[in-house]
Structure 1
Amino acid sequence: MPPAPETVEVYFIAPRHLAGGGDPAWITVPLHRACGWSHGNDPLMPRVLLSSPDQKALLRLEPEPDGQWWTLSHAAEPDRPAWYASFGARTPVELIAAVTDTLTDPASTASTSSDPYEPLRQIGWSPYGDDGLVSPDKAAYVERLGTPGDPGAWFVTVTLGLHQKVWQARFGEHTPARLVTAFTAALADPAPVARTDSVHSLPTHDPNVVTRRTTDVLAVLVAGALEERVRTLAARHAVPPATPMPSAPPPVKNGRSR
């Protein structure tokens, strides 16, 4: 009798803003393999540096005990000053991936207009402060600091209680709104996120705060999820086959028919 297929215990966590960071490969591997971002080879340093094919964008992942672990920076362009986005260690990779996926999407353009608050309003987030929203569980806050005539940077902060900050995402004032909206849309998604290291990654195990559902999943499916993601993102850059030119109709003969 053949052995039973190997399975992996997978935790499905909700809300996703309290699901922990997850596997960084969910971001870095597709950027390299599907989007052509290059990386240096510095095995003695605990960091990852990925640069876009046009060398305008740089993603840095570097353990920083007192700061942001992820930093995405972009050089100035004719229509936009340089901008940045940064994310704390426990920012779920699914939210960061929403930003990098949108940045590398050939169909996404800098002229795309969007309101980062709209995905959150649609799921019942409430007004917070002068210009912000707070989640129904009061754990996540999104606000833009600045003045009506001079809007500033965006801040997304997740806390437990009054003083325990779980993670923070920051978007500079010149970050394209479509990228901030991609992040808030992923934040608003009610679907749980999968984790295989729930015991270590969750900022809290309080069942009144997070919902954790556990199930055994075939190991081959768990391993294949990242490969499928790479294939899906790579397909966006595939050049569609050229439409064949229609054949010319036969010339009309002059003269009368008999």
Structure 2
Amino acid sequence: MLPHDDTTDGDVYVSPRYLARATAIGDPGLEPLRNLGWELRHDDLGNAYLTAPDSKVRLGYLPEGEDDGLWRINAYKDPFGPPVWGVCFNDSCPTEFVIAFTTALAEAYQQGPDSYLARPLSGSKDHDPFLAVAPLIKRGWLIERPRWGVFAVQSPDRLAGLEYTTGDLDPETELTTREARWQLWAGTSIDRPYWYATASTDTPVALLKAVTECLSDPAPLPRWREDTYSYVKGKAQITSIIPPGPPAPTPLDVQRAVGRRPTARPAASVPRWSTTSRPALTGPRR
């Protein structure tokens, strides 16, 4: 039985999940932070902005932004200073990966600045950058060395990858371009990916790990069939979601159907329907 995801709906499943693309709405990605009481406002173009109560974390959902960076999330030590770290998910990135990030961010924010501003530290038990890569390797992703100064892992089908750039990087460039410390992508080429996400040098490892855990999960994602037109043929697998069938008849229903009055039996001898049959999936909901 295919798993069902309660955060998004659809009438088909897409696998591998990193080829599922974004959903039409961004509300599920905002919800973990809105549940903490973060301030939500909109501009005249329809972009949405969330701000933490202490103004030290800000999220922009920018369908009418200046580029394809649909989600931009920055954190600050000083609300009026430069960002300590920044993350970007582009407009085709599967929404579930954004949800994984904002859910982890909500948990970190509740723990305080030592959590949501925790800098990666090599050799640290909890903050070593490798911890964000480990979920991918455990699920069979392959270690690559695409070019000097870059450590990478790729999915077994080579249609998704993560790159980690070593050496010094310009902080402003990391926040405004794809030349960041971390880059996730899916497609036939990193130069022209189906989608991408970036994270700057000091992005907390726990937040990145939440995304790589979600990214490498083998479970497919639900989507509406009419929204799968852009998938490259032969790359993503599209599977119909089985609609729910009628409820299984009870022993009483069976006896009524054959015109016999039910007779009392000892509890131990009451016939039972098989418990090994798989339950039907919940039907599609818009």
**TM-score between the two structures when normalised by the length of structure 1:** 0.71
Aligned length: 210
Identify if the C-alpha distance between structure 1 residues 11 and 221 changes in structure 2 by more than 3 Å, giving closer, same or farther: closer
Match of 1:113 among 105, 127, 132: 127
**How far apart are 1:65 and its partner, in Å?**
6.8
Identify if the C-alpha distance between structure 1 residues 157 and 65 changes in structure 2 by more than 3 Å, giving closer, same or farther: farther
Q: How does 1:34-113 map to 2 (within 5 A)?
A: 34-42=35-43, 44-63=44-63, 64=65, 66-76=67-77, 82-105=84-107, 106=110, 109-110=115-116, 112-113=126-127
**How far apart are 1:161 and its partner, in Å?**
5.5
- Residue by residue, what CA displacement relative to the aligned partner does 1:114-169 show, whole Å, maximum 9, x if unpaired? 51110000111111224110111111110111239x9x610112123586421110
Identify if the C-alpha distance between structure 1 residues 92 and 146 changes in structure 2 by more than 3 Å, giving closer, same or farther: same
**How far apart are 1:9 and its partner, in Å?**
5.4
Q: How does 1:188-207 map to 2 (within 5 A)?
A: 188-195=216-223, 197-201=224-228, 203-206=230-233
Asked whether the 8 Å contact 1:21–1:201 carries over to 2, the reply is no
Partner amino acid, structure 1, of 2:212? T
Asked whether the 8 Å contact 2:10–2:222 carries over to 1, the reply is no
Aligned to 1:13: 14
> C-alpha separation between the residues in 1 aligned to 2:285 and 2:32?
16
3-state SS of paired residue (2:203):
coil
> C-alpha separation between the residues in 1 aligned to 2:229 and 2:139?
23
Asked whether the 8 Å contact 1:76–1:83 carries over to 2, the reply is no
Q: How does 1:100-179 map to 2 (within 5 A)?
A: 100-105=102-107, 106=110, 109-110=115-116, 112-113=126-127, 115-129=131-145, 130-147=150-167, 153-160=181-188, 164-179=192-207
3-state SS of paired residue (2:207):
helix
- Residue by residue, what CA displacement relative to the aligned partner does 1:13-42 show, whole Å, maximum 9, x if unpaired? 11111101013111123422x221211143
**How far apart are 1:49 and its partner, in Å?**
0.6
Identify if the C-alpha distance between structure 1 residues 181 and 203 changes in structure 2 by more than 3 Å, giving closer, same or farther: farther
> C-alpha separation between the residues in 2 aligned to 1:128 and 1:172?
21
Partner amino acid, structure 1, of 2:202? H
Asked whether the 8 Å contact 1:48–1:62 carries over to 2, the reply is yes
**How far apart are 1:55 and its partner, in Å?**
1.5
> C-alpha separation between the residues in 2 aligned to 1:176 and 1:139?
26
> Structure 1 residue runs of 4+, over 4 Å off?
217-221
Asked whether the 8 Å contact 1:20–1:202 carries over to 2, the reply is no
**How far apart are 1:214 and its partner, in Å?**
1.6
**How far apart are 1:11 and its partner, in Å?**
1.5
Match of 2:236 among 187, 190, 210: 210
> C-alpha separation between the residues in 1 aligned to 2:190 and 2:30?
33
> C-alpha separation between the residues in 1 aligned to 2:236 and 2:42?
39
Asked whether the 8 Å contact 2:30–2:102 carries over to 1, the reply is no
Partner amino acid, structure 2, of 1:222? R
Asked whether the 8 Å contact 2:10–2:285 carries over to 1, the reply is no
**How far apart are 1:220 and its partner, in Å?**
8.6
Partner amino acid, structure 1, of 2:127? S
> C-alpha separation between the residues in 2 aligned to 1:70 and 1:9?
22
Identify if the C-alpha distance between structure 1 residues 162 and 119 changes in structure 2 by more than 3 Å, giving closer, same or farther: closer
Asked whether the 8 Å contact 1:19–1:202 carries over to 2, the reply is no
Q: Identity over the aligned pairs, expressed in percent?
A: 24
Gaps of 5+ in 1: 1-7, 224-258
Aligned to 2:174: none
- Residue by residue, what CA displacement relative to the aligned partner does 1:20-72 show, whole Å, maximum 9, x if unpaired? 1013111123422x221211143x21211111222111111113474311100
**TM-score between the two structures when normalised by the length of structure 2:** 0.64
3-state SS of paired residue (1:191):
coil
Partner amino acid, structure 1, of 2:85? W
Identify if the C-alpha distance between structure 1 residues 198 and 29 changes in structure 2 by more than 3 Å, giving closer, same or farther: farther
Match of 2:213 among 185, 189, 193: 185
Greater RCO, CA 8 A, separation 6+:
1
Asked whether the 8 Å contact 2:56–2:75 carries over to 1, the reply is yes
Asked whether the 8 Å contact 1:9–1:214 carries over to 2, the reply is no
